Amino acid sequence: MSPIRILIVDDHVVVRQGLAAMLTPRHGVEVVGEAANGREAVHLEKELNPDVIIMDLAMPEMGGLEATTIIKAQNPDARILVLTSYTEDDQVAAIMAAGADGYLLKESGADELLQAIRSIHSGHMIVSPKVLQAMSRTSKPGSSEQDSLFDLTTRELEVLQGIGEGQTNREIALGLGISATTVRSHVSSILTKLDVTNRTQAALIARENKLL
C-alpha cells in the first residue's frame, strides 16, 4: 500500500525537520515537500498534489487561514490538517469554515498525529479534544441546544449525525442515498437552526446530545 504523501507547512525549520523525521515511510506516511509559509504551500500543493497538508496558522507572508482558503478553492478535495498552538474558538471556527479537515495542537503526541493524518486521509474530520472542550466552554450563554435540535427535520438530524461522526458531505450523501448538493443544503440549514458557524460546532452539539 502506498504511503500517505505529506506536505508540511510551518515557518519554523526545527518544526518542519522534527515532523519530517517523525513522519517516515515505516509509519505509512512520506513527506514529499516542505513550505515555510502559506504562499509556498499554495504553489507546492498544485505542484506535488499531496494526500494531506499539515498546516500551521501564524506564518509570514501568508498565514494558514488564507492559504487554506486558496487551496480549498483550487482543489476542494485537498485534505488539510491544522497543527498549531492556538485553542481560541474564533481561530478554530475561521479555519474550519475555510475548509480545514482537522485541527490538532502541537502538544499532541506522535501517535495522535499519525492517527489524525490517517483519519483525514480517509475522509474524516478530526478536532483535538482540548479544542472541543474550549469551544464548549465558550458556547453562547442562554442558548438551548436541545430546543434547537427539535427544529431540525428527520433528514437534517440524519445529516447532523453524519457530521458528528466526521463524515464528509460525499459520505453522508452515499449513506443516505441523496446528492451531495442536497447534503450541502441540509448542512447550511442545520448551521442556521443551531446558530453555529461551522461543522465543528455542529459536531460538538451532536456529540454532547448523544446523537451518535
CA atoms of 62 and 53, how far apart (whole Å): 15
**Sign of torsion, CA 174 177 181 183?**
negative
**Mind listing the pLDDT tens digit for each residue in 155-178?**
888 899 888 888 889 999 999 999
- What percentage of the chain exceeds 70 in pLDDT? 88
Burial of 150 (0-12, 13-18, 19+ CB in 10 A): exposed
Across the chain, mean pLDDT equals 86
**Distances 62 to 40, 66, 201 between C-alpha atoms, Å:** 9, 7, 26
Find the angle CA(205)-CA(195)-CA(82) to the nearest 5 degrees: 60
**Mind listing the pLDDT tens digit for each residue in 93-134?**
788 778 888 899 998 888 889 999 998 998 887 887 777 666
Q: Which amino acid is at 166?
A: G
Q: Could you identify the residue written with the cell 507546492?
A: 44
For residue 153, is pLDDT > 50?
yes
Between 172 and 1, the higher pLDDT residue: 172
For residue 137, is pLDDT > 60?
no
Between 136 and 186, the higher pLDDT residue: 186
Q: Which domains does the chain have, with CATH numbers?
A: 4-136 (3.40.50.2300), 139-208 (1.10.10.10)
